Protein backbone atom coordinates (compact mmCIF):
# COMPACT_ATOMS: atom_id res chain seq x y z
CA UNK A 1 0.00 0.00 0.00
CA UNK A 2 1.34 3.40 -0.94
CA UNK A 3 0.53 5.35 2.25
CA UNK A 4 2.70 8.40 2.80
CA UNK A 5 3.30 9.83 6.27
CA UNK A 6 4.07 13.52 6.48
CA UNK A 7 5.73 14.80 9.67
CA UNK A 8 4.44 18.04 11.04
CA UNK A 9 6.39 21.19 10.32
CA UNK A 10 6.82 24.24 12.49
CA UNK A 11 4.66 22.78 15.25
CA UNK A 12 1.86 21.49 13.02
CA UNK A 13 0.40 18.01 13.52
CA UNK A 14 1.67 15.15 11.31
CA UNK A 15 -0.74 13.94 8.62
CA UNK A 16 -1.22 10.93 6.40
CA UNK A 17 -1.82 10.72 2.66
CA UNK A 18 -3.76 7.47 2.20
CA UNK A 19 -3.88 7.47 -1.59
CA UNK A 20 -1.30 8.49 -4.23
CA UNK A 21 -4.26 9.43 -6.43
CA UNK A 22 -7.76 10.82 -6.02
CA UNK A 23 -10.11 7.79 -5.86
CA UNK A 24 -12.76 7.73 -8.55
CA UNK A 25 -16.26 8.43 -7.24
CA UNK A 26 -17.79 7.11 -10.47
CA UNK A 27 -16.05 3.74 -10.26
CA UNK A 28 -16.75 3.48 -6.54
CA UNK A 29 -20.47 4.10 -6.92
CA UNK A 30 -20.65 1.84 -9.98
CA UNK A 31 -19.25 -1.15 -8.11
CA UNK A 32 -21.29 -0.26 -5.06
CA UNK A 33 -24.37 -0.72 -7.25
CA UNK A 34 -23.01 -3.89 -8.91
CA UNK A 35 -22.28 -5.59 -5.60
CA UNK A 36 -25.55 -4.37 -4.12
CA UNK A 37 -27.56 -5.98 -6.93
CA UNK A 38 -25.45 -9.18 -6.88
CA UNK A 39 -25.95 -9.51 -3.13
CA UNK A 40 -29.72 -9.05 -3.44
CA UNK A 41 -29.84 -11.75 -6.14
CA UNK A 42 -28.03 -14.21 -3.86
CA UNK A 43 -30.36 -13.36 -0.97
CA UNK A 44 -33.35 -14.17 -3.19
CA UNK A 45 -31.79 -17.44 -4.46
CA UNK A 46 -31.13 -18.70 -0.95
CA UNK A 47 -34.85 -19.34 -0.39
CA UNK A 48 -35.87 -21.62 -3.30
CA UNK A 49 -32.58 -23.54 -3.06
CA UNK A 50 -32.62 -23.64 0.77
CA UNK A 51 -29.02 -22.47 0.63
CA UNK A 52 -28.36 -21.03 4.08
CA UNK A 53 -24.69 -21.85 3.49
CA UNK A 54 -24.64 -18.83 1.15
CA UNK A 55 -25.03 -16.47 4.12
CA UNK A 56 -21.23 -15.87 4.34
CA UNK A 57 -21.18 -14.97 0.63
CA UNK A 58 -24.08 -12.56 1.17
CA UNK A 59 -22.19 -10.95 4.06
CA UNK A 60 -19.16 -10.69 1.78
CA UNK A 61 -21.32 -8.97 -0.82
CA UNK A 62 -22.53 -6.49 1.82
CA UNK A 63 -18.90 -5.79 2.75
CA UNK A 64 -18.02 -5.17 -0.89
CA UNK A 65 -21.02 -2.87 -1.35
CA UNK A 66 -20.16 -0.62 1.57
CA UNK A 67 -16.43 -0.96 0.90
CA UNK A 68 -16.81 0.61 -2.52
CA UNK A 69 -19.04 3.25 -1.01
CA UNK A 70 -16.00 4.03 1.12
CA UNK A 71 -13.84 4.41 -1.99
CA UNK A 72 -16.41 6.72 -3.58
CA UNK A 73 -16.50 8.71 -0.33
CA UNK A 74 -12.69 8.94 -0.40
CA UNK A 75 -12.99 10.96 -3.61
CA UNK A 76 -13.79 13.95 -1.41
CA UNK A 77 -10.47 13.70 0.43
CA UNK A 78 -7.61 11.24 0.18
CA UNK A 79 -6.46 12.35 3.63
CA UNK A 80 -9.66 11.30 5.46
CA UNK A 81 -9.04 8.23 7.62
CA UNK A 82 -12.75 7.45 8.07
CA UNK A 83 -13.49 6.78 4.40
CA UNK A 84 -10.14 5.07 3.87
CA UNK A 85 -10.57 2.74 6.85
CA UNK A 86 -14.12 1.83 5.77
CA UNK A 87 -13.03 0.67 2.32
CA UNK A 88 -9.78 -0.87 3.56
CA UNK A 89 -11.39 -3.12 6.18
CA UNK A 90 -14.50 -4.15 4.25
CA UNK A 91 -12.84 -4.83 0.89
CA UNK A 92 -10.09 -6.86 2.54
CA UNK A 93 -12.49 -8.90 4.67
CA UNK A 94 -15.03 -9.77 1.95
CA UNK A 95 -13.06 -12.51 0.10
CA UNK A 96 -12.69 -14.85 3.13
CA UNK A 97 -16.46 -14.68 3.60
CA UNK A 98 -17.09 -15.58 -0.04
CA UNK A 99 -14.48 -18.36 0.17
CA UNK A 100 -16.25 -19.85 3.22
CA UNK A 101 -19.34 -20.47 1.10
CA UNK A 102 -17.26 -22.10 -1.66
CA UNK A 103 -15.69 -24.43 0.92
CA UNK A 104 -19.10 -25.44 2.29
CA UNK A 105 -20.49 -26.08 -1.18
CA UNK A 106 -18.09 -28.94 -1.96
CA UNK A 107 -19.02 -30.85 1.19
CA UNK A 108 -22.72 -30.56 0.38
CA UNK A 109 -22.19 -31.74 -3.20
CA UNK A 110 -20.28 -34.78 -1.93
CA UNK A 111 -23.04 -35.70 0.53
CA UNK A 112 -25.86 -35.11 -1.98
CA UNK A 113 -24.22 -37.62 -4.36
CA UNK A 114 -23.56 -40.19 -1.63
CA UNK A 115 -19.89 -39.96 -2.59
CA UNK A 116 -18.28 -39.61 0.84
CA UNK A 117 -16.05 -42.63 0.09
CA UNK A 118 -14.51 -40.82 -2.89
CA UNK A 119 -13.38 -37.74 -0.98
CA UNK A 120 -9.85 -37.41 0.40
CA UNK A 121 -11.39 -35.91 3.52
CA UNK A 122 -14.73 -36.67 5.14
CA UNK A 123 -17.22 -33.93 4.15
CA UNK A 124 -17.82 -32.93 7.78
CA UNK A 125 -14.11 -32.49 8.40
CA UNK A 126 -13.55 -30.93 4.98
CA UNK A 127 -16.04 -28.16 5.75
CA UNK A 128 -14.77 -27.71 9.31
CA UNK A 129 -11.06 -27.60 8.43
CA UNK A 130 -11.36 -25.20 5.51
CA UNK A 131 -13.91 -22.92 7.14
CA UNK A 132 -11.73 -22.73 10.27
CA UNK A 133 -8.70 -21.90 8.13
CA UNK A 134 -10.83 -19.30 6.41
CA UNK A 135 -11.87 -17.84 9.77
CA UNK A 136 -8.18 -17.56 10.64
CA UNK A 137 -7.55 -15.73 7.34
CA UNK A 138 -10.53 -13.48 8.02
CA UNK A 139 -9.41 -12.61 11.55
CA UNK A 140 -5.83 -12.02 10.41
CA UNK A 141 -6.87 -9.63 7.67
CA UNK A 142 -9.52 -7.95 9.83
CA UNK A 143 -7.01 -7.45 12.63
CA UNK A 144 -4.31 -6.23 10.27
CA UNK A 145 -6.67 -3.79 8.61
CA UNK A 146 -8.20 -2.77 11.92
CA UNK A 147 -4.98 -1.62 13.55
CA UNK A 148 -4.23 0.54 10.53
CA UNK A 149 -7.08 2.89 11.37
CA UNK A 150 -4.94 4.24 14.21
CA UNK A 151 -3.05 6.38 11.72
CA UNK A 152 0.16 5.63 13.64
CA UNK A 153 3.02 4.89 11.23
CA UNK A 154 4.60 2.05 13.24
CA UNK A 155 1.27 0.38 14.01
CA UNK A 156 0.17 0.65 10.38
CA UNK A 157 3.37 -1.02 9.20
CA UNK A 158 2.71 -3.92 11.58
CA UNK A 159 -0.88 -4.13 10.34
CA UNK A 160 0.35 -4.26 6.75
CA UNK A 161 2.59 -7.24 7.57
CA UNK A 162 -0.28 -9.03 9.33
CA UNK A 163 -2.55 -8.55 6.29
CA UNK A 164 0.25 -9.78 4.02
CA UNK A 165 0.65 -12.94 6.13
CA UNK A 166 -3.11 -13.56 5.95
CA UNK A 167 -3.11 -13.20 2.17
CA UNK A 168 -0.23 -15.63 1.74
CA UNK A 169 -1.90 -18.15 4.05
CA UNK A 170 -5.15 -17.87 2.07
CA UNK A 171 -3.31 -18.73 -1.16
CA UNK A 172 -1.98 -21.93 0.44
CA UNK A 173 -5.47 -22.86 1.67
CA UNK A 174 -7.00 -22.29 -1.77
CA UNK A 175 -4.36 -24.47 -3.44
CA UNK A 176 -4.99 -27.27 -0.94
CA UNK A 177 -8.75 -27.02 -1.42
CA UNK A 178 -8.51 -27.15 -5.23
CA UNK A 179 -6.30 -30.25 -4.96
CA UNK A 180 -8.89 -32.05 -2.81
CA UNK A 181 -11.74 -30.96 -5.11
CA UNK A 182 -9.85 -32.13 -8.22
CA UNK A 183 -9.13 -35.56 -6.67
CA UNK A 184 -12.79 -35.98 -5.80
CA UNK A 185 -13.80 -34.88 -9.31
CA UNK A 186 -11.50 -37.44 -10.94
CA UNK A 187 -12.59 -40.28 -8.66
CA UNK A 188 -16.27 -39.53 -9.24
CA UNK A 189 -15.70 -39.60 -13.00
CA UNK A 190 -13.97 -42.96 -12.74
CA UNK A 191 -16.40 -44.48 -10.22
CA UNK A 192 -19.84 -42.86 -10.52
CA UNK A 193 -22.14 -43.31 -7.57
CA UNK A 194 -25.52 -45.06 -8.10
CA UNK A 195 -27.18 -41.64 -8.33
CA UNK A 196 -24.98 -40.61 -11.26
CA UNK A 197 -25.13 -44.03 -12.91
CA UNK A 198 -28.92 -43.87 -12.92
CA UNK A 199 -28.95 -40.19 -13.93
CA UNK A 200 -26.08 -39.73 -16.42
CA UNK A 201 -27.54 -36.46 -17.69
CA UNK A 202 -27.12 -34.75 -14.32
CA UNK A 203 -24.77 -31.83 -15.20
CA UNK A 204 -22.65 -32.04 -12.06
CA UNK A 205 -19.32 -31.33 -13.75
CA UNK A 206 -20.23 -27.78 -14.77
CA UNK A 207 -20.81 -27.00 -11.08
CA UNK A 208 -17.43 -28.43 -10.17
CA UNK A 209 -15.91 -26.15 -12.79
CA UNK A 210 -17.82 -23.26 -11.26
CA UNK A 211 -16.06 -24.06 -7.97
CA UNK A 212 -12.64 -24.15 -9.69
CA UNK A 213 -13.25 -20.89 -11.54
CA UNK A 214 -14.44 -19.17 -8.37
CA UNK A 215 -11.39 -20.36 -6.45
CA UNK A 216 -8.99 -19.30 -9.21
CA UNK A 217 -10.58 -15.85 -9.41
CA UNK A 218 -10.18 -15.47 -5.64
CA UNK A 219 -6.60 -16.74 -5.82
CA UNK A 220 -5.64 -14.24 -8.53
CA UNK A 221 -7.26 -11.48 -6.48
CA UNK A 222 -5.33 -12.51 -3.36
CA UNK A 223 -2.10 -12.89 -5.32
CA UNK A 224 -2.35 -9.34 -6.69
CA UNK A 225 -3.22 -8.06 -3.22
CA UNK A 226 -0.18 -9.90 -1.84
CA UNK A 227 2.01 -8.19 -4.43
CA UNK A 228 0.38 -4.88 -3.58
CA UNK A 229 1.05 -5.17 0.14
CA UNK A 230 4.54 -6.57 -0.41
CA UNK A 231 5.64 -4.08 -3.08
CA UNK A 232 7.42 -0.88 -2.26
CA UNK A 233 5.99 2.56 -2.68
CA UNK A 234 5.71 4.17 -6.12
CA UNK A 235 5.12 0.85 -7.91
CA UNK A 236 2.34 0.73 -10.51
CA UNK A 237 0.25 -1.75 -8.52
CA UNK A 238 0.04 0.78 -5.70
CA UNK A 239 -0.06 4.07 -7.58
CA UNK A 240 -2.70 3.24 -10.21
CA UNK A 241 -6.30 2.75 -9.10
CA UNK A 242 -7.13 0.59 -12.09
CA UNK A 243 -5.47 -2.42 -10.42
CA UNK A 244 -8.01 -2.33 -7.58
CA UNK A 245 -10.94 -2.44 -9.98
CA UNK A 246 -9.52 -4.98 -12.44
CA UNK A 247 -7.89 -7.42 -10.01
CA UNK A 248 -10.12 -6.98 -6.96
CA UNK A 249 -13.56 -5.52 -7.69
CA UNK A 250 -14.07 -7.29 -11.02
CA UNK A 251 -12.75 -10.67 -9.82
CA UNK A 252 -14.95 -10.57 -6.72
CA UNK A 253 -17.99 -9.69 -8.84
CA UNK A 254 -17.04 -12.42 -11.33
CA UNK A 255 -16.96 -14.98 -8.51
CA UNK A 256 -20.42 -13.96 -7.32
CA UNK A 257 -21.69 -13.95 -10.92
CA UNK A 258 -20.41 -17.48 -11.63
CA UNK A 259 -22.09 -18.75 -8.46
CA UNK A 260 -25.30 -17.08 -9.58
CA UNK A 261 -25.38 -18.67 -13.03
CA UNK A 262 -24.24 -22.06 -11.72
CA UNK A 263 -25.74 -21.88 -8.27
CA UNK A 264 -24.72 -25.09 -6.45
CA UNK A 265 -28.05 -25.09 -4.64
CA UNK A 266 -29.75 -25.97 -7.93
CA UNK A 267 -27.58 -29.10 -8.34
CA UNK A 268 -27.84 -30.12 -4.68
CA UNK A 269 -31.63 -29.73 -4.64
CA UNK A 270 -31.99 -31.78 -7.83
CA UNK A 271 -29.64 -34.51 -6.54
CA UNK A 272 -31.59 -34.82 -3.30
CA UNK A 273 -34.89 -35.00 -5.18
CA UNK A 274 -33.54 -37.74 -7.46
CA UNK A 275 -32.20 -39.67 -4.47
CA UNK A 276 -35.59 -39.48 -2.78
CA UNK A 277 -37.30 -40.63 -5.99
CA UNK A 278 -34.93 -43.59 -6.36
CA UNK A 279 -35.53 -44.61 -2.74
CA UNK A 280 -39.33 -44.44 -3.00
CA UNK A 281 -39.37 -45.90 -6.50
CA UNK A 282 -41.82 -43.27 -7.68
Mean pLDDT, the chain, rounded, equals 86
pLDDT at 126: 85
**What residues have CB less than 8 Å from 249, skipping those under 6 apart?**
27, 31, 64, 68
Task: For the beta carbon of residue 85, count every other beta carbon within 10 angstroms.
Answer: 18
* DSSP letters spanning 237-274: HHH-THHHIIIIIHHHHHHHHHHHHT-HHHHHHHHHHH
- For 205, 218, 261, the CA distances from 210, given in Å and listed in that order, are 9, 12, 9
Strand partners, 15: 6
How confident is the model over 118-151, as pLDDT tens digits? 998 888 888 888 888 878 877 877 776 666 555 5
Assign residue 186 the CATH number of its domain.
Answer: 1.20.1070
How confident is the model over 69-81, as pLDDT tens digits? 999 999 988 778 8
Structural domain harbouring 188: 4-280
**What residues have CB less than 8 Å from 256, skipping those under 6 apart?**
35, 38, 39, 42, 57, 61, 98
Number of domains in the chain: 1
**What residues have CB less than 8 Å from 279, skipping those under 6 apart?**
none
User: Residue 260: pLDDT above 80?
Assistant: yes
pLDDT at 168: 87
pLDDT at 144: 66
- For 8, 65, 81, 154, the CA distances from 11, given in Å and listed in that order, are 6, 40, 21, 21
How confident is the model over 21-43, as pLDDT tens digits? 889 999 999 999 999 999 999 99
Residue 205 pLDDT grade (very low, low, confident, very high; cuts 50, 70, 90)? very high
Task: For the beta carbon of residue 261, count every other beta carbon within 10 angstroms.
Answer: 9
pLDDT at 249: 96
pLDDT at 151: 54
Strand partners, 5: 16
Distance CA 67, CA 88 (A): 7
pLDDT at 84: 86
CA 114 remoteness from chain centre: 28
Distance CA 10, CA 223 (A): 42
User: Residue 281: pLDDT above 60?
Assistant: no
Which of 56, 67, 72 shows the shortest CA–CA distance to 92?
67
Q: What is the DSSP letter of 78?
A: T
Task: For the beta carbon of residue 178, count every other beta carbon within 10 angstroms.
Answer: 15
**What residues have CB less than 8 Å from 274, skipping those under 6 apart?**
195, 198, 199, 202
Give the predicted TM-score (pTM) of the model: 0.88
Residue 242 pLDDT grade (very low, low, confident, very high; cuts 50, 70, 90)? very high
pLDDT at 23: 92
Q: What is the mean pLDDT of residues 223-247?
A: 83
Amino acid sequence: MDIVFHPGKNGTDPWVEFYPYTPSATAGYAFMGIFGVSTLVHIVLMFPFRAAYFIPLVLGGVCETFGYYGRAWSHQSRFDIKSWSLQEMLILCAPPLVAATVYMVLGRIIRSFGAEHLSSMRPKWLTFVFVMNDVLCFCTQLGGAGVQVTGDEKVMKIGKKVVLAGLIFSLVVFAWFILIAAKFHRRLQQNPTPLLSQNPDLPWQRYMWAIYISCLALMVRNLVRTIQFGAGQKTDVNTKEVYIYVFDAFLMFFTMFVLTIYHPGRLIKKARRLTKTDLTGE
